[in-house]
């Protein structure tokens, strides 16, 4: 039973190229499955989320992060009686536009594009992938996804001003996205805040004392586990506390969103779209705890000295390869050389699609041993 403000698949604005219905999967289920079967999705397995394999091979990569976002999103969507299939499709597709090497790779690719008078944005790149880049079907380029999935790809994490992005006009930039899309940015953050505490602790880049000192929410829940399981190992008490951090954030997101929907008297998808602000959100108290956690992770993990060498390497590799192909486009694979687009776009697409191991291989091939390239 869907809520009156959920997206109904039978009211979808449909695909660019109409297709006959499938006998037992609806359009959003098929979109989810098309994402899972895409090449860009499979490559998430070998893309860094935060930690490279130098630290451990059981840390999250972009694929396992994506699966965690999908799990959390399904739970919340079901509790709010939203369209779970649409939410799942949006969660699974939300990171496919990310280049190799996590945030550092994205920053370097953006800088390289800026030098050519352009920029790189992973949401817009994800749209580009599903619209043009994936070649799987004889009848159309891309994945021919429904409007609602494409709209969610563009709008889940930020608003794009209409005047600046005329090419996105069809995505109703003056309206809020459906709740199914609004959720994704928040579940993404629940997933990575908790996962990065976990992986950071495992990597010994964060100590228990630092986490308890910098994340009051975690500290409170950890103390509870300390008295409940006095004989358990610190790691197991850590796990119990972290699980409760996640539960606390998820529960608050569900109840606060439900309260805002009720307070704003939202009765339909049109109401969601026309509402002046996004309705999916944490309560002010929990939002403050979320911000504290995020700030702690920035100060102690993302911007830590320990991760600097990898970030520098990522920037060097992306920048040098980009410049190399700008100088020598004949070193690009034939299929890329034949594309009738500005060279910087072709190189952007090629690099953004790469996995970490593949870009390392390409760098060794065209730029020589690291440090010697120029
Ligand atoms: Mg993400």
Q: Are 284 and 183 in contact (CB under 8 A)?
A: no
Structural domain for 208, as ranges = 25-308
Q: Look up residue 53 and give its two tokens.
A: 């394999």
Dihedral of the alpha carbons of 61, 63, 64, 67, in degrees to the nearest 10: 150
Q: What are the beta bridge partners of residue 15?
A: 146
In a domain, 73, yes or no: yes
Q: Is residue 221 part of a domain?
A: yes
In the reported structure, the alpha carbon of residue 36 is separated from the centroid of ligand 1 by a whole-number distance in angstroms of 16
Instruction: Give the containing element (helix H, strand E) for 263.
Output: helix 234-263
At residue 146, the 3 state secondary structure works out as strand
pLDDT of residue 157: 85
State residue 371's pLDDT score: 52
Q: What is the pTM of this model?
A: 0.95
Q: What separation in Å is there between the alpha carbon of 124 and the centre of ligand 1?
A: 14
Q: For residue 44, how far is the Cα from the chain centroid? A: 11
Q: Is residue 277 part of a domain?
A: yes
Identify the pLDDT of residue 48.
84
pLDDT score recorded for residue 373: 42
Q: Separation of 89 CA from ligand 1 center, angstroms?
A: 13
- The pLDDT value recorded for residue 307 is 87
Residue at 118 is within a domain: yes
Residue 331 CB burial class (10 angstroms; 0-12, 13-18, ≥19): middle
Rounded to the nearest angstrom, the distance between the alpha carbon of 66 and the centre of ligand 1 is 6
Domain membership flag for residue 251: yes
| Selection from 310, 278, 119, 313 nearest residue 186 by Cα | 278
1-39 residue pLDDT tens: 999 999 999 999 999 999 999 999 999 999 999 999 999
**Two structure tokens written together for 215:** 């994340």
Q: Specify the pLDDT at position 51.
A: 75
- Cα-trace Rg, the chain: 22
**pLDDT tens digits for range 148-167:** 999 999 998 888 898 999 99
Q: Which residues of the chain register pLDDT less than 70?
A: 53, 370-374
- CA dist 199 → 42, 65, 72, 193, 287 (Å): 22, 12, 18, 10, 23
72 in a structural domain: yes
48 C-alpha vs ligand 1 centroid, how far in Å? 11
Q: Whats the size of the chain, residue-wise?
A: 374
Q: What is the tally of structural domains in the chain?
A: 1
Question: How much distance in Å is there from the Cα of 337 to the middle of ligand 1?
Answer: 31
Span from the CA of 145 to the centroid of ligand 1 (angstroms): 20
Q: What is 73-87 written as a DSSP string?
A: HHHHHHHTT--HHHH
DSSP state of 132: I
CATH code assigned at 269:
1.10.3210.10
């Amino acid at each position: 039973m869907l809520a009156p403000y959920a997206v109904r698949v039978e009211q979808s604005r449909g695909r660019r190229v109409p297709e006959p219905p499938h006998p037992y999967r609806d359009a959003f289920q098929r979109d989810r499955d098309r994402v899972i079967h895409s090449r860009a999705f499979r490559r998430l397995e070998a893309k860094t989320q935060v930690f490279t394999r130098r630290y451990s091979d059981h840390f999250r990569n972009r694929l396992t992060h994506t699966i965690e976002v999908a799990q959390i999103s399904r739970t919340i969507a079901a509790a709010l009686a939203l369209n779970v299939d649409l939410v799942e499709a949006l969660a699974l597709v939300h990171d496919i536009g990310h280049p190799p090497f996590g945030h550092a790779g994205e920053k370097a690719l953006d800088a390289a594009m800026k030098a050519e008078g352009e920029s790189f944005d992973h949401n817009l790149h994800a749209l580009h992938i599903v619209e043009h880049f994936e070649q799987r079907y004889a009848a159309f380029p891309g994945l021919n996804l429904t409007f609602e999935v494409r709209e969610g790809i563009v709008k889940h994490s930020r608003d794009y001003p209409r005047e600046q992005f005329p090419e996105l006009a069809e995505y109703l930039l003056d309206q809020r996205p459906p709740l199914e899309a609004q959720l994704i940015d928040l579940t993404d953050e629940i997933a990575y805040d908790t996962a990065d505490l976990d992986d950071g602790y495992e990597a010994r880049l964060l100590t228990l004392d630092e986490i308890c000192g910098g994340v009051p929410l975690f500290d409170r829940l950890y103390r509870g586990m300390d008295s409940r399981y006095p004989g358990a190992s610190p790691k197991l008490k850590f796990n119990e506390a972290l699980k409760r951090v996640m539960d606390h954030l998820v529960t608050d997101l569900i109840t606060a969103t439900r309260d805002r929907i009720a307070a704003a008297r939202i009765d339909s998808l049109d109401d969601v779209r026309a509402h002046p602000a996004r309705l999916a959100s944490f309560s002010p108290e929990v939002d403050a705890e979320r911000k504290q956690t995020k700030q702690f992770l920035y100060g102690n993990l993302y911007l830590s000295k320990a991760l600097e060498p990898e970030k520098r390497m990522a920037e060097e590799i992306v920048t040098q390869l980009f410049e190399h192909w700008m100088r020598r486009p004949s070193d690009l694979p034939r299929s890329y050389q034949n594309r009738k687009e500005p060279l910087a776009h072709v190189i952007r697409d090629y690099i953004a699609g790469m996995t970490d191991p593949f870009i390392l291989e390409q760098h060794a091939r065209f730029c020589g041993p690291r440090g010697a390239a120029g």
